[in-house]
């Protein structure tokens, strides 16, 4: 299959221009003099205008469908480089199953990708395949987060991170989820990941936990983003939840390494805003502080929910005759979107379903099970 028609002709022109530019740069100096001049650049030199963009490179990228304007905004220095590897990178990704559109999108959002050598890409791809088995899934991840794959050329650090994370006792499933969901974890320096791990272990010790390694492992396994968030954010959330819910050390350990692990990396502002909105609504419905604590302990994901969304869902359920007591007992009925809640309530109401006698569990079962249940109810 021909890759990006018209580019091969420009490639030879680009390569010729590259040679001419390099020759003009060093023709009047020895290699050592040129390097010394570059190394000891003066302050007046730094004030000079930036080197012009590589016109032949711009033409190549345009023919490939790359959004040059976006590339210029992201990493302008790349467009001034004399030597690049856009053809090689494009062919490499094409061979792995990426479409021309996907390739253009990757380069548009992370132009530095075209500076990587084929040898580097082959090695990096092989490392990724130790965790993710199919080229198609890797292409999907790279398309979603090109920085994760192209950001660094340190394949040795990537391998060290695999070894480090494996040493924690994380399963292959855990590693797959980390790379698929938070690939920047593997681009972090090993030292940074170790520091973040130690921070989690210190939290465990602070609350009287006996197995800090297992505590940290459980959090990482449940929250793939935890190693790429600032420890300050996590610490602030932990302190806020302990103070707001008046958690004991034992309750803190259970929540943070259990169901609550997933909310530890929420932005501090979002956490406080959503918790405040939840508390106000519960109080308006006659609930006590103990009810809010019990709700968050059993369903901490409710703190991801904005106040407007939460209120809309509660309004739908309450208007249908479902009590707040029932919702607190089965909070996962709030998992559904407002549209789905409304649709199910209408269908069940038409069938004469009684939520007081039959319960509310039917609202948050899978669509397949719900349709089967609906068919039985309809006779």
Q: Whose CA is closest to 256, among 329, 306, 205?
A: 205
pLDDT digits (tens, 9 = 90+) for 230-289: 999 999 999 999 999 999 999 999 999 999 999 999 999 999 999 999 999 999 999 999
The reported pLDDT for the residue numbered 17 is 43
pLDDT digits (tens, 9 = 90+) for 325-338: 999 999 999 999 99
**Residue 121 within any structural domain of the chain:** no
pTM: 0.77
Same domain? For 315 and 259 the reply is: no
Question: What's the half-sphere exposure (Cβ side, CA atoms, 13 Å) at 331?
Answer: 18
CB-CB contact of 328 with 287 (8 Å): yes
Share of the chain above pLDDT 70, in %: 87
Same domain? For 378 and 310 the reply is: yes
Residue-number span of the structural domain to which 341 is assigned = 305-379
pLDDT along the chain (379 residues), means of 10: 50 42 42 42 52 92 95 95 95 97 97 95 94 94 92 90 94 93 92 97 97 97 96 97 97 97 96 97 96 96 95 95 95 94 93 91 92 85
Same domain? For 107 and 206 the reply is: no
CB-CB contact of 40 with 47 (8 Å): no
**Residue 171 within any structural domain of the chain:** no
The reported pLDDT for the residue numbered 47 is 56
Q: Is 173 exposed, middle or buried (0-12, 13-18, 19+ CB in 10 A)?
A: exposed
Give the total number of structural domains in the chain. 3
Q: Which of 238, 267, 299 is the last residue of a domain?
A: 299
């Amino acid at each position: 299959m021909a890759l990006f028609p018209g580019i091969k002709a420009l490639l030879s022109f680009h390569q010729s221009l590259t040679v001419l530019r390099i020759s003009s740069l060093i023709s009047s100096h020895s290699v050592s003099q040129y390097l010394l001049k570059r190394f000891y650049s003066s302050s007046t030199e730094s004030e000079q205008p930036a080197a012009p963009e590589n016109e032949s490179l711009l033409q190549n990228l345009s023919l490939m469908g790359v959004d040059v304007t976006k590339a210029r905004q992201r990493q302008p220095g790349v467009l001034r480089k004399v030597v690049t590897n856009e053809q090689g990178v494009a062919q490499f990704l094409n061979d792995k199953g990426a479409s021309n559109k996907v390739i253009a999108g990757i380069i548009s959002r992370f132009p530095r990708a075209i500076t990587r050598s084929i040898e580097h890409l082959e090695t990096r791809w092989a490392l990724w395949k130790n965790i993710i088995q199919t080229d198609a899934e890797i292409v999907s991840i790279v398309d979603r987060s090109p920085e994760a794959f192209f950001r660094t050329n340190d394949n040795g650090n990537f391998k060290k991170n695999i070894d480090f994370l494996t040493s924690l006792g994380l399963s292959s499933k855990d590693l797959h989820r980390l790379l698929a969901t938070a690939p920047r974890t593997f681009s972090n320096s090993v030292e940074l990941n170790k520091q973040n791990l130690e921070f989690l272990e210190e939290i465990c010790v602070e609350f009287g936990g006996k197995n800090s390694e297992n505590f940290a492992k459980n959090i990482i396994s449940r929250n793939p983003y935890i190693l790429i968030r600032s420890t300050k954010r996590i610490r602030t959330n932990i302190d806020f939840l302990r103070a707001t819910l008046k958690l004991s050390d034992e309750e803190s350990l259970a929540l943070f390494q259990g169901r609550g692990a997933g909310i530890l990396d929420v932005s501090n502002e979002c956490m406080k805003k959503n918790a405040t909105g939840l508390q106000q609504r519960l109080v308006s419905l006659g609930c006590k502080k103990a009810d809010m604590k019990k709700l968050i302990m059993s369903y901490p994901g409710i703190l991801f929910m904005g106040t407007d969304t939460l209120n809309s869902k509660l309004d739908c359920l309450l208007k249908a005759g479902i009590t707040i007591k029932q919702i607190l007992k089965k909070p996962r009925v709030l998992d559904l979107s407002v549209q789905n809640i409304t649709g199910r309530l209408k269908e069940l109401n038409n069938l004469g379903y009684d939520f007081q006698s039959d319960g509310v569990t039917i609202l948050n079962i899978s669509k397949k099970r719900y349709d089967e249940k609906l068919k039985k109810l309809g006779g």
